[in-house]
Amino acid sequence: MKFTDLNLDGRLLQAVEEAGFTECFPVQEETFRRTLGGQDVTVQSQTGSGKTAAFLVTVFQQLCVGEKYRGRKALVIVPTRELATQIEEDAQKLGKYLPYRIGCFFGGIGYGKQEALLREGVDIIIGTPGRLIDFSHQKKMNLMEVGILVIDEADRLFDMGFLPDLRRLLRKMPPAEERLTMLLSATLGLRVSSLAWEYMNGAEEIEIDPEQVTVETITQEIYHVSSAEKMRLFLGIMKKVNPKNAIIFTNTKHAAEEVCRRMEINGYKSQFIIGDLPQVKRLRIIDDVKEGRINFLVATDVAARGLHVEDLDLVVNYDVPEEAENYVHRIGRTARVGKSGLAVTFACEKYVFGLEAIEKYIGQKIPVQSFAEEDFVEDKSAGMKIRSERYGRGGRDGRDGRDGRDGREGRDGHRRGDRRERGEGRDGRRRREPVPGGRPAARIPAEPREAAASAAPRGEAALKRKPERRPTGKKMSKEERMAFYRDKYGEEFGGASAAPVPAAQGGRGSPQAGGRKPGRESRDRKPGNRQDRFRRGRGQAGRDPGGARGQAARPAETRQAQSQQAPKKPGLLGKIMGFFKKKD
């Protein structure tokens, strides 16, 4: 089927022809047969098969000729900022002869321009869930005016945790019977089907080549190489293929930045994109890649969807993706809309375990390529330590496409990105570098620290030293027992040391001996306490004369005089000594 057979509006058809579209791709043909008649659809098709043009042409045609949608708005919900800007560019091309205003709304940048666009009026809204919810809560965007709804990359929206946001947005729109809804995805899982059943009006399901996930025109290759040799082999393939442009994917932010730096050292002008980059910088890099000012881009999965580069020659999976779906979207950056391309994957010992799931998902074995020593190229950056600009923590970048409320950016998201790049906190102060493993260590002068180290126990053995045990075996004589206890308790065992030591000198009850601290009374010794009054009564009645309870009720002078006259009670050592004397 040709586009001229669709009876499109003349202005729309002119823009379609100028964009180079003549023959409809299978997914476009099946979609137009239903959506141009007002039928809801769920579409599953390969990445790069023309789904974007399928729903954009439907949107423009229905706004032009559909009486049901006259004066209403179209809303396109996408998971990432990059995909939003890409769809906006495609919409500008197809609608350049039509009187409809197109606006793109996503987080990471200021609200000013987007708010001004809403005040002036916008007919086609393209945005990410977080920013759309913000404008809806602020009453600056009326979702009840939506007549045509498009949910693009639905599986990715679910993977990023946007399902609650989608439901929140759908509840603020007109009922399913009063709007046209199109849901598009590379895979239609259970969650996608459940959403379609709940919020769509009898949607028809369209599946184009569901058994073949990848495009036939992509040449896929895989190399089993160690991590230490990966860069040298990568440089060898770059020299052999000599691509005009390429996108290199890594699994982590730190790896993306490191690969980019090493490519520059080896003579390849490149840039990298990770989720922690400020949005303005990300958009500038994408524009440079599309305009040909930058030929090589290193990215995490944040660029696996929505980044369309015309005639992309090569896609390199520097790391095997940990999710099978990401492999399909990565290599889908090349061989778009019927063109050919090359996808190379390096399977190292760290990420090779994800290969089996990928081959099972795509339904085919990726051809393994052999290599020899001459395929390696010297790495000029070998041995160099690549310093990171610390945009992020070097973790995985799976959720970096999130924005607005769910991306933890909100109204000041663009400012947070700038502060993060400068290394500042919320108050603008310079952040102190964290100490690995916990809170910053206190600064202790060198001399006190050395003194404390010298006074500290020599090791754990000092703390875990077990007390000596009394010798067992034959019966000990009196002299042997006395010698044993003198060795254990000191040379003066049985003499003056048998008397109790005053608390002030470290005896029982002193802080040194682990007793109660001086001046600290227990709860039951407070004046007026009921137990204290009872004890004073017992002492005055003579029930405990000279005892501890009676002593508590007497004046201090009386207690002191009696303590001087009364003989001191023997301590623990004295009792032991007395025991042996009685036995003898």
Residues of the chain with pLDDT under 50: 211, 393-394, 398-468, 495-528, 531-553
- How many Å apart are CA 146 and CA 172, to the nearest integer? 10
DSSP character for 143?
G
Q: What pLDDT was estimated at residue 117?
A: 93
CA 115 to mean position of chain CA atoms: 30
What DSSP string describes 107-170?
SSS-SHHHHHHHHH--SEEEE-HHHHHHHHHTTSS-GGGEEEEEE-SHHHHHHTT-HHHHHHHH
> Which residue has 């690969």 as its token pair?
259
Instruction: Provide the token pair at 479.
Output: 């002299």
- How many Å apart are CA 411 and CA 107, to the nearest integer? 8
* Half-sphere CA count of 487, side-chain side, radius 13 A: 11
Strand-pairing partners, residue 184, are 43
Q: How many CB atoms lie within 10 A of CB 393?
A: 10
Q: What pLDDT was estimated at residue 210?
A: 52
Instruction: Provide the token pair at 70.
Output: 């006259």
Contacts of 462 (CB under 8 A, 6+ apart): none
Q: Is 248 exposed, middle or buried (0-12, 13-18, 19+ CB in 10 A)?
A: buried
Same topology for domains 3-207 and 218-400, yes or no?
Answer: yes
Q: What pLDDT was estimated at residue 306?
A: 60
Length of the chain as a residue count: 584
3-class DSSP state of 166? helix
Model-wide pTM > 0.85:
no
Q: Which CATH code is given to the segment(s) 218-400? A: 3.40.50.300
Q: What pLDDT was estimated at residue 568?
A: 59
Say if residues 307 and 286 touch (Cβ distance below 8 Å): yes
Q: What pLDDT was estimated at residue 336?
A: 62
Q: Which helix (H) or strand (E) holds 288?
A: helix 279-290
3-class DSSP state of 544? coil
Strand-pairing partners, residue 517, are none
Q: Is 65 exposed, middle or buried (0-12, 13-18, 19+ CB in 10 A)?
A: middle
- How many Å apart are CA 166 and CA 183, to the nearest integer? 12
Q: Is 523 exposed, middle or buried (0-12, 13-18, 19+ CB in 10 A)?
A: exposed
Would you kindly state where each structural domain of the chain is located, as residue ranges?
Answer: 3-207, 218-400
Query: Per the CATH hierarchy, to which homologous superfamily does domain 3-207 belong?
Result: P-loop containing nucleotide triphosphate hydrolases (3.40.50.300)
3-class DSSP state of 18? helix
Instruction: Provide the token pair at 30.
Output: 């099946």
Contacts of 337 (CB under 8 A, 6+ apart): 25, 48, 49, 50
Instruction: Please work out, in degrees rounded to the nearest 5, the angle formed at the alpha carbon of residue 154 by the alpha carbons of 148 and 156.
Output: 145
